[in-house]
Amino acid sequence: MITYLLSIILHLSAFVHAKNVRSPTPPLGWNSYNAYGCQPSENIITSNAKGLVDLGLANLGYTRVTTDCGWLSRNRDSQGRLQWNSTLFPSGPHALGDYLHGLGLKFGLYSGGGYFQCGSTDQPASKGHEVIDSQTFSDWGGDSLKYDNCYAVSPDVMVDNQSEESISPTRFQTMANAIDAVERDFEYYVCQWGIGYNIGTWASAIGNTWRISNDIYNAWRSIWRITNEVVPYWKHTKAGAFADMDMLINGLGALSYEEERFHFSMWAINKSPLILGAKINSASTTKESFDIVKNEEVIAINQDSLASQARLVRRHTVEEWDIWLGELSNSRFVLGVANWKNNSQTVQVDLNAIGIRTADARDVWAKRNLGSVSGVQTINLVGHELKLWTLSNVFASTPLQSAGYYAAAKASLSGSATITTCGSGECLPSGQKVGYIGSGAAVTFSSVSAKSAGTKVLGVDFVQYDIATDSAWGWGDNTRNLTIAVNGGTPKRWAFPISGGDWLESDRLLVEVGGFVQGARNQVVIRNVGSAWAPDLVGFDVLE
């Protein structure tokens, strides 16, 4: 059994040890919620579990079967233990667990750190009952616990994204300690929705996985929203600790097959759990959708033993495409070229500029070896395609070098733009940032040096924590936009994702900007877009 000595969580001094176990790679499985909402039943769970086995999904690692919200009776028993709804689950939890274990699957349980379960007004959750509930889950033979965040503060309010108690780690830590005290091993899945601050720090210390966002929903735009929120979690993802981008919507009829491949690929390279949500039978879910989630090469990327999350290494917002690069075991890499555009386009990927001199490439979805690749690669993308290459025998290129760093706090500010001096280890690398870059504001850098004329890579250090929580159901996308204009040229827009765990943790986005002249005569002007705020700006490197 793997033992973890966990760090102190914010104000907490409790430690979690043996029974809260970690899968070394992201969990794979099936959850009832996406297809059945909060209306599961014994037949639903057993038939879908059998489908995992019959359709070969269990052999690929999809072994965790979780009954989500709706399984409970409204009353605890005389000893205070949770009870299953005997109408929906006539055989009871022990029989259900035995059935799943008999199929070689794992028994996933669900509760929450509030007064009631999500989706109900009277089904009890585990707040204040953590010790007896964790023991009950153990007695039932459970293998994992998804722990949700509804009714955190009041029995009258199901969703509260703002109050101190709802965003605090305390309730999740309390359940982690309770799980640790039982004799059965549990994988613990924190479902706190990514609200509050420093989720990656505290949740990775107690959970095998932790939800980073509001719920996924059946629309393409939710893929963009969640992708922008997962970007900074590479700082916390490692073997046994994985940022959860939420359950897959493959097979639900919400996406085209190309979009389903994109969705599955993006979750896989970011080392998210791959939890199926469709009905696991051939009458309800198409062969094409099953083939996508059964792609063994994509699953292998997700399950790679290095457990390293891919990084967003280039963003081309106006052109609507990104480049992602992640490390794999045995000195390999995964390269993802993501086309967010509705239409087809042809893009140029300069491998040297992202650190690769030569490599042997394989197109994962085409299942085709491409041979040795180097230099600028021309890649044809259909609308909403994510091209996945695995790279082996990689030789690194000479890294781009800084021609000079330009701190925003030393630039010329106008309008509402304001300097903030941050604490130790914050707003890196300069320790200061410029915020409130709104309408009429500008951050102007003069005497910027370039060794040669033309397009340069700028490493833009920024702070952005405008989380799309309440706005997730509309058009919230976890980005703030800014424009960059060089030497009076036409301003160009970039969408900046979430940078970290609060408004003081910075990250770097690499963008390619044209219009530079040779020498120290360049002017760079950064502004907001429209009436919205820009991300807070720490500074930038000119990389050549």
Q: Known catalytic residues?
A: 148, 215
Whether 294 and 286 have beta carbons less than 8 Å apart is answered as no
Amino acid at 4: Y
End-to-end CA distance of the chain: 49
Residue with the two structure tokens 């930038």? 540
Closest CA to 149 of 186, 184, 199: 199
Q: Which two tokens stand for residue 412?
A: 């010329």
The rounded distance, in Å, linking the Cα atoms of 473 and 373 is 42
Longest dimension (CA), the chain: 80
DSSP letters along 8-72, please? P-TT------TTEE--SS--EEEESHHHHTT---HHHHHHHHHHHHHTTTGGGT--EEE--SS-B
**Percentage helix, strand, coil for the chain under 3-state DSSP, each rounded to 5:** 20, 35, 45
The rounded distance, in Å, linking the Cα atoms of 143 and 145 is 7
Whether 192 and 209 have beta carbons less than 8 Å apart is answered as no
CB contact burial 472-499 (16+ within 10 A = b; e otherwise): beeebbbbbbbbbbbeeeeebebbbbbb
The rounded distance, in Å, linking the Cα atoms of 448 and 478 is 30
Count of C-beta atoms within a 10 Å radius of residue 197: 18
Strand, coil or helix: 322: strand
Say how many CA atoms lie within 13 Å of 203 toward its Cβ: 30
Give CA 300 to chain center in angstroms. 18
The rounded distance, in Å, linking the Cα atoms of 63 and 299 is 13
